[in-house]
Chains A and B, each alone.
Chain A
Amino acid sequence: MTLSPRRLAIDYGLLILLAGLVAVFAVAEPAFLRVNNLFSILQAVAIVALLGVGVTVTMIAGGFDLSVGGLAAFVQMAAAYSLVVLDGSTGSAILLCLGLGILVGLGNAVLIVRLGIPDLLATLGMLFLLAGLQLVPTGGRSIAPGLILLDGSTAQGTFTDGFLALGRHRVWDILPVPVLVLAVVAAALWLVMAWTRFGRVFYAIGGNELAARLAGAPTRLYRVAAYVISATVASIGGILLAARIGRGDVSAGNGLMLDAVAAALIGHAVLGANRPNILGTVVGAVFVGVLLNGLTMLNAPYYLQDLVKGAVLIGALAVTYGLAPRRA
């Protein structure tokens, strides 16, 4: 098949643009291309990318999960509470966080699959619920070692070194742990979604649930799985977030949800997929990260960030919906 400019734009537009951006930034600011800086970019986008990958799984199954941002923030607070207030170990904090994530995923699944609430509404409700719930144990305050509790006593625990390493350690002094986690999670989900029969069924459910059901797929089970996967991945994101900032910050989750959803939507436009895909989401998150990092290096004011994200999102959507081939 010959590559028309239009086809080229659909398939490789975003990647070409990404390469172009890297080239421009590298010329304008040679420090941009340093390995350290590149990993900093990945470090910066790792959590958003993880949440986006989770959202992508639900989108593949024809749903949506808005609650991932709220869940990551909630889990971040839960990790801090477990470590600081309960004086728990690294392992117990991680288990608690993953357990909460699975629970929230099952909760979303009950609302959407069992009660039949539209996915956007159910997960929007869950988003608010979690954003509120995270404030309850501490009366709305952030959690740091030495926190004065509601009963007047002082918290005895602290962030363990092991836990902090999850957010701050660099493997071989170069590869940040969150980037490694993202790589492993994204690769695993990509393999499942692109190369196994299970992934095919997820896509089929997203395409036409009843057709998939009549083809013999237990579609409700798959949809429940999609929300549990999404929530579990989001709680991993929450753990990494807590480890990176080293305290339980009530405002840490701001903007995470929108960034994650944006990454997933930008991902539709990668390699002409025109549908949610794991790899595309990661590329989408990295794209935004590169742009923001480069602009910061060039001393662009911080308040332009949302403007830039919006422009990228709209551009990607224009490619997905405007250029993609449709029969007249």
Chain B
Amino acid sequence: MTTSAVPPALAMRGLVATFGPTRALDGASLTVAPGTIHGLIGHNGAGKSTLIKVLAGLVTPQAGTIALDGATVTGMTPGRAEALGIAFIHQERLLVPTATVGEALFLGRESAGSRFGIRRGSLRRRAEAALERVFGVTLPKGALIRDLSTAQQQIVQITRALLADPKILVFDEPTAALAQREVEHLFAAIRRLKAQGLTTLYISHYLAEIEQLCDTVTVMRNGRDVAHVDPRQVPEGGLAQLMIGRPVTELYPRQRAAAGEPVLALAGVGVGPGVRDISFTLRRGEVLGLTGLLGSGAKDLVRALFGLAPITAGTVTVDGQAARLKNPTEAVRRGIALVPEDRRAHGVALDLGIRENLTLASLGRLSRWGWLDREAERRRALDLIGELQVKTGGPDAPVRTLSGGNQQKVALGKWLAREAHLYILDEPTIGVDIAAKAEIYRLIAEAAGRGAGILLLSADPDELLGLCDRILVLFRGTIVAEHEAAGTDAGTLLQAALTGGRGAAGAASTVPAHAA
């Protein structure tokens, strides 16, 4: 490196950081050339966030060095990072909700350009100029932060970071809350900043964004940097393969069990005013997809089958017996396993240990006369941790200490411990990185292979096509199309979901007959 004319804007070398028994960084390095947009990718728990926290001075590494423009920096703190010209834009909104846009932009810099505290006029003009320059947008300057949309708040945050004239701008998953048009604005702004000579470090697990935006990409896996590539030179799917360490073609396991007895049958089911006349049959060993746009009623139907909303019409039959699913307890007693969408809020107890979460739904078979067999419980938990490949220091670590993807595996694992014969999964892979996705798909396929029936609610056509045998499309509260996964494609599904099935002629009338 000493021979190169320009030293890297940022060079992090051989970083090691451990949290208790978890090794978050295990010799990770990152080199960013000045004036480039540098992507950083890796699945949940790969160490991206920890690396950024080291750079921000929030985590002190046990080993390794940081150098900026060739000069080594020791004892990094958040204050130092700012003074050295590193600005961070986090996915969380770190703004005072009751401040105005102008106040939020200049918080902590009120006296800049003024000898006597805040000068409202100049503050406002500078805020307008900054917003205009970066985003080409105007925000209502007098508006309070809490009245802005999430995307607008993010724009304020980015603008605020730019006002400090940083040398390196670090984006941590900035587009998670943005609409497509806003994402394009953001990218245009980042490119404009690059033209002005700014160096950008861009962290995301949306691979398409990385391919579109970045000059160079560092891929992290298991706390190390495992690849350094130019995303434009990498073939389709190459980045994903680098992230998970094996080809993506293995993402969807193809193992098909012969469909057995009906495990769930709906006849003329209605849920409130929004969902009417839903009929279908799910058999053992079958993966049945359910999809529809927001407001199509698919979500309401699944909630009702969870016992979270009342079924107002029709009959539900579970294992050949009529079932009134008036609450989740009843649903679980019927042998239904429920994996809700928002696992952090509904799926796991964050402060309890992994073991306690994993065995929560199967306490009955781990105890006698109510008395827990702790040894059996521990063995079961360890088996599941191994099977799910949960990355953790031990079975008693609080779930809070796990990365997002691993928390989701625990939420799903709770039901694998029970070996239910009917799984209702609500968006099981949303917000999960591609490696955890592959794990979850494998687990779903295995459950089906064991003879469980699986109802999968998903908005991801690839997931539906890759995993399901049949797919039902809901539109305005009724089933408008039913497709064999093998005989359809993403376009057809989307068309049905968007338009109510024009193009899938007569589907609306033939489906109930088929389901009976």
Name the interface residues of B298-352: CB closer than 8 Å to any CB of A. Answer: 306, 327-329, 331-333, 338, 340, 345-352
Question: Of A98-106, A130-138, A191-199, which binds chain B?
Answer: A191-199
* In contact, B348 and A211 (Cβ under 8 angstroms): yes
- B403's nearest neighbour on chain A, judged by CB, is A327
Partner of B329, one of A207, A208, A213, A326: A213
A212 at interface, CB cutoff 8 A: yes
CA distance A99 to B356 in the complex (A): 35
The proximity string for A residues 308-328 relative to B, scoring 1 for CB distances below 8 Å and 0 otherwise, is 000000000000000001111
Chain A count of residues within 8 A CB distance of the other chain: 25
A181 at interface, CB cutoff 8 A: no
The 23 listed contacts between A and B (C-beta, < 8 Å) are A196-B371, A197-B363, A197-B366, A197-B370, A204-B349, A204-B352, A204-B356, A204-B360, A207-B349, A208-B345, A208-B348, A208-B349, A211-B349, A211-B357, A211-B411, A212-B360, A214-B328, A214-B347, A216-B328, A216-B331, A218-B329, A275-B351, A326-B400
CA distance A261 to B328 in the complex (A): 33
CA distance A210 to B341 in the complex (A): 12
A203 at interface, CB cutoff 8 A: yes
B63 at interface, CB cutoff 8 A: no
* In contact, B59 and A328 (Cβ under 8 angstroms): yes
* In contact, A214 and B338 (Cβ under 8 angstroms): yes
A215 at interface, CB cutoff 8 A: yes
* In contact, A215 and B414 (Cβ under 8 angstroms): yes
Complex contacts, A201 vs chain B, CB 8 Å: 360, 363
Complex contacts, A218 vs chain B, CB 8 Å: 327, 329
- B377's nearest neighbour on chain A, judged by CB, is A200
Which residue of A200, A213, A216, A217 has the most chain B CB atoms within 10 A of its CB atom? Answer: A216
Complex contacts, A208 vs chain B, CB 8 Å: 345-346, 348-350
The proximity string for B residues 84-125 relative to A, scoring 1 for CB distances below 8 Å and 0 otherwise, is 000000000000000000000000000000000000000000
Complex contacts, A196 vs chain B, CB 8 Å: 367, 370-372
Partner of B20, one of A203, A216, A325: A325
Given contacts A201-B363, A203-B356, A328-B19, contact A210 B346 (CB under 8 A): yes
Q: Name B's interface SS.
A: helix
Measured between C-beta atoms, what is the minimum distance from B466 to chain A in Å?
26
CA distance A215 to B329 in the complex (A): 7
A-contacting residues of B (Cβ < 8 Å)?
Answer: 19-20, 53, 58-59, 306, 327-329, 331-333, 338, 340, 345-352, 356-357, 359-361, 363-364, 366-367, 370-372, 374, 400-401, 411, 414
* In contact, B360 and A327 (Cβ under 8 angstroms): no
Q: A204-B352, A214-B306 are in contact. List 10 more A-B contacts (CB 8 A).
A: A196-B367, A197-B370, A204-B349, A206-B349, A208-B346, A213-B327, A215-B360, A217-B329, A218-B329, A328-B53
* In contact, B348 and A216 (Cβ under 8 angstroms): no
Complex contacts, A215 vs chain B, CB 8 Å: 328, 332, 360-361, 414
Complex contacts, B372 vs chain A, CB 8 Å: 195-197, 200
Complex contacts, B364 vs chain A, CB 8 Å: 197
CA distance A206 to B350 in the complex (A): 10
Measured between C-beta atoms, what is the minimum distance from A125 to chain B in Å?
28
Measured between C-beta atoms, what is the minimum distance from A271 to chain B in Å?
13
CA distance A327 to B367 in the complex (A): 32
Measured between C-beta atoms, what is the minimum distance from A231 to chain B in Å?
23
CA distance A256 to B377 in the complex (A): 39
Complex contacts, A275 vs chain B, CB 8 Å: 351
Name the interface residues of A260-302: CB closer than 8 Å to any CB of B. Answer: 275
Complex contacts, B414 vs chain A, CB 8 Å: 215
Closest 3 CB pairs of A and B: A207-B349, A216-B332, A197-B363
* In contact, B401 and A198 (Cβ under 8 angstroms): no
- A194's nearest neighbour on chain B, judged by CB, is B372
CA distance A198 to B306 in the complex (A): 22
- A327's nearest neighbour on chain B, judged by CB, is B401
* In contact, B400 and A214 (Cβ under 8 angstroms): no
Given contacts A200-B372, A325-B20, A327-B400, contact A216 B333 (CB under 8 A): yes
Given contacts A200-B363, A328-B59, contact A211 B332 (CB under 8 A): no
Measured between C-beta atoms, what is the minimum distance from A63 to chain B in Å?
15
CA distance A171 to B352 in the complex (A): 41
Name the interface residues of A28-50: CB closer than 8 Å to any CB of B. Answer: none
- B22's nearest neighbour on chain A, judged by CB, is A327
* In contact, B329 and A200 (Cβ under 8 angstroms): no
- B393's nearest neighbour on chain A, judged by CB, is A1
Measured between C-beta atoms, what is the minimum distance from B371 to chain A in Å?
6
Complex contacts, A328 vs chain B, CB 8 Å: 19, 53, 58-59
Measured between C-beta atoms, what is the minimum distance from B78 to chain A in Å?
13
- B368's nearest neighbour on chain A, judged by CB, is A197
Complex contacts, A325 vs chain B, CB 8 Å: 20
Complex contacts, B352 vs chain A, CB 8 Å: 203-204, 207
Name the interface residues of A146-195: CB closer than 8 Å to any CB of B. Answer: 195
* In contact, B367 and A211 (Cβ under 8 angstroms): no
- A197's nearest neighbour on chain B, judged by CB, is B363
- A218's nearest neighbour on chain B, judged by CB, is B329
Complex contacts, A326 vs chain B, CB 8 Å: 400
Measured between C-beta atoms, what is the minimum distance from B49 to chain A in Å?
10
CA distance A195 to B370 in the complex (A): 9
CA distance A208 to B340 in the complex (A): 13
- B17's nearest neighbour on chain A, judged by CB, is A328
- A328's nearest neighbour on chain B, judged by CB, is B59
